[in-house]
Amino acid sequence: MRVAWVLIADYLRQLETGLYSPLASYRYRAIIPARELGSRGHEVYMLGVNENGQSVEFAAQEIRGADAVIFGKNHVVPAVTQRLIDLCRQLGIKSIVDVCDDYFDSPFKDHYLSIIQKADLVVASTPALAARISDTGARKAVVISDPFEGPRGEPRLTPDLQRLKQVWFGWETNLPPLFRHLGALVDAGEGYPVELTVVTGNVPGLREVLDRFNSPILSVKFIEWSLPALWQALAQCDFVLIPVDKERPGNIAKSPNRMVESLRAGRFVAAHSIPAYEEFREWAWVAESLTEGIRWAVRNTAMAVRRLHDAQRHIEATYAPKVIANTWERTIRSG
């Protein structure tokens, strides 16, 4: 097969190790699947577009002769996506729109509804997001989850009760629920002392905000996000926290990639419940009180480690890049 992914050029980087993007969605939902499909003999290529007319003309030429064109997340230059998906229809080339975030209560709603209705096939990153797409009256979507990206870590839980090492990582927009969790922890003023590492983008003023939470029971440090920094932070911690702001409707449809990466790293996870995390409830702590989950794991370290081993077996069978690529391959060939 000859398959093209259309992505925003500004978020693509060609490194010595290969194509890279700072956007997790581009790595999980384009670069990693494309690499796997390419290893199987398919001709797969990335088309980076922006407002520059030359990039659009180049993409328009390159998609001719493709068997399928997959449109990744792009509301930065929506007119380009609209033009290229219309071209696919004119040429009889299969067009696939990949939706990985809930933008159906955002200013981008009309754009996504339009390309969803034009496409030959729609892919969603979670069943909850597929249901959300269906609820808009647009159409049904095929579900393809995110593969894992990081290295496997040996399951380990040997916490130092004088200072529990915890990690939070993610996009800056996910910080507010972490702040609420930390505020409650400091206000309670009791429990195990915590050393929290926050791995995220270097947002102006973030260090000052995090410093305000430092107290006798809590020490917070910031590490600027990069993949090596994240893998190192996971390797050095005891626990991963994933608080969720459920008042933001878009969060309910999020993929389990933070849960998957943390468990694959061999670290116990305490997370608030969203549909994508329910699958991991028997191996991680998925409930409203993250602090209670940490306390349970401290008291039951051997059981927690056994659960981590079980979780890793499930993740290898379900979220390995080759497994996710199998679904992409079947989906692209379908119809």
Q: SS3 for 248?
A: coil
Using alpha carbons only, what angle is made at residue 221 by residues 220 and 222, rounded to the nearest 5 degrees? 130
pLDDT in 10s for each residue of the chain, 335 residues:
999 999 999 999 999 989 999 999 999 999 999 999 999 999 999 999 988 878 888 899 999 989 999 999 998 888 999 999 999 999 999 999 999 999 888 888 999 999 999 999 999 999 999 999 988 776 789 999 999 999 999 999 999 999 999 999 999 989 999 999 898 887 765 678 999 999 999 999 999 999 999 998 899 999 999 999 999 999 999 999 999 998 887 888 999 999 999 999 999 999 999 999 999 999 999 999 999 999 999 999 999 999 999 999 999 999 999 999 999 999 999 86
Whole-angstrom distance, CA of residue 160 vs CA of residue 144: 39
pLDDT of residue 192: 86
The answer to whether 100 touches 129, Cβ cutoff 8 Å, is yes
In the prediction, which pLDDT does 33 show? Answer: 98
Task: Output the pLDDT for position 2.
Answer: 96
Report residue 68 as tokens: 């399928």
Q: How far is CA 199 from CA 78, 150, 168, 243, in A?
A: 31, 15, 6, 14
Q: Domain segments of the chain: what residues? A: 2-147+321-333, 164-318
Residue 241: C-alpha distances to residues 39, 294, 324 (Å): 35, 9, 26
Query: CATH class for domain 164-318?
Result: alpha beta
Comparing 2-147+321-333 with 164-318, is the CATH topology the same? Answer: yes
In terms of CATH architecture, what is 2-147+321-333? 3-Layer(aba) Sandwich (3.40)
d(CA 107, CA 14): 31
- Alpha helix positions (H), the chain: 24-26, 32-39, 53-62, 78-91, 109-118, 127-135, 175-188, 206-211, 227-236, 257-264, 290-299, 301-319, 321-333
